[in-house]
Chains A and B, each alone.
Chain A
Amino acid sequence: MSGSTIIFYLLAALTLGSGLMAVTTRKIFRAAIYLLFSLIGIAGIYFWLQYEFIAAVQIVVYVGGIVVLIIFSIFLTQQSGEELPRQKTGRIIFSALAAFCGFLLVILQIYQHVFLKTDQNPVEVNVSNIGIQMLGVSNYGYALPFEVVSILLLAAMIACIVIAMRTRPEIKETTV
């Protein structure tokens, strides 16, 4: 068992263990911190697979963006010191059972299935190729979907502002 293998299993244990703690702990702030460690573990797995760009994007987007957003929303909306209300025991048991059975089913399918290798040549994946593909207007470029997604984000942002906007009551002018 080489050192690389041991590092992989440590990363896997970090990811799964802190993911499990994130869904079972009763303190909401601790759940956010466990989620952070789980995402860092996934980024470590990407580094282990030598996809450095994707690992960096994972850290920037998830660890730097989404977890910070979740922590902000916890601080703004929840009482982070208190424990969350306890779920019904029957519901916990049945959802654990459902998740475990689904897990077994999928794992059995995966281990029985033989994945065939593609006969196509691997594409050289580096950052400049990703950029050219992402902003290309040629046949296989992603410029149009990129712009459509940005319009969608703009619409979502405007909708958030409209929802959050306080409607001021009309001030009736009193006529004498």
Chain B
Amino acid sequence: MQPGLNQLLFISTALFFIGVYGFFTRRNLVTILMSVELILNSVNLNFIAFN
């Protein structure tokens, strides 16, 4: 299957929800910050996928 827009959006969505999971389950402020970084990166990937 040739990678296209859908595959990139799949990666972006999966990364976003991995970040959301980490945001909910972590109890440490630094690790919550790391989850937020994952979410921000998925948003960046989404922008670039549509470019």
Which of A's residues lie within 8 Å of B, judged by CB? 5, 8-9, 12, 15-16, 19-20, 22-24, 28, 31-32, 35, 38-39, 42, 45-46, 49, 51, 54, 58, 62, 66, 70, 73-74, 77-78, 84-85, 87, 91-92, 95-96, 98-100, 102-103, 106-107, 110-111, 115, 125
Contact = CB atoms under 8 A, between A and B. Distances in A.
> SS class of chain A's interface: helix, strand, loop or mixed?
helix
Interface string B1-33: 111011111110111111111101111101101
B48 A31 contact: no
B24 A16 contact: no
A110 B6 contact: yes
Contact of A70 (B2, B14, B33): B33
29 contacts: A8-B3, A8-B7, A12-B7, A16-B14, A19-B38, A23-B21, A28-B31, A39-B37, A46-B48, A49-B48, A58-B44, A70-B34, A70-B37, A73-B30, A74-B30, A77-B30, A78-B28, A84-B26, A84-B28, A87-B26, A87-B27, A91-B24, A95-B21, A99-B17, A100-B17, A110-B9, A110-B10, A111-B6, A125-B51
> SS class of chain B's interface: helix, strand, loop or mixed?
helix
A47 to B, nearest CB: 12
Nearest to B33: A70
Given A8-B3, A28-B30, A106-B13, A62 B41 contact: yes
Contacts of A100: 17
Nearest to A66: B37
Given A87-B26, A99-B24, A100-B17, A45 B37 contact: no
Given A45-B45, A111-B6, A19 B13 contact: no
A23 to B, nearest CB: 3
Q: Chain B interface residue count: which class?
A: 35 or more
Contacts of B2: 5
Nearest to B3: A8
Given A66-B37, A74-B30, A111-B6, A98 B13 contact: no
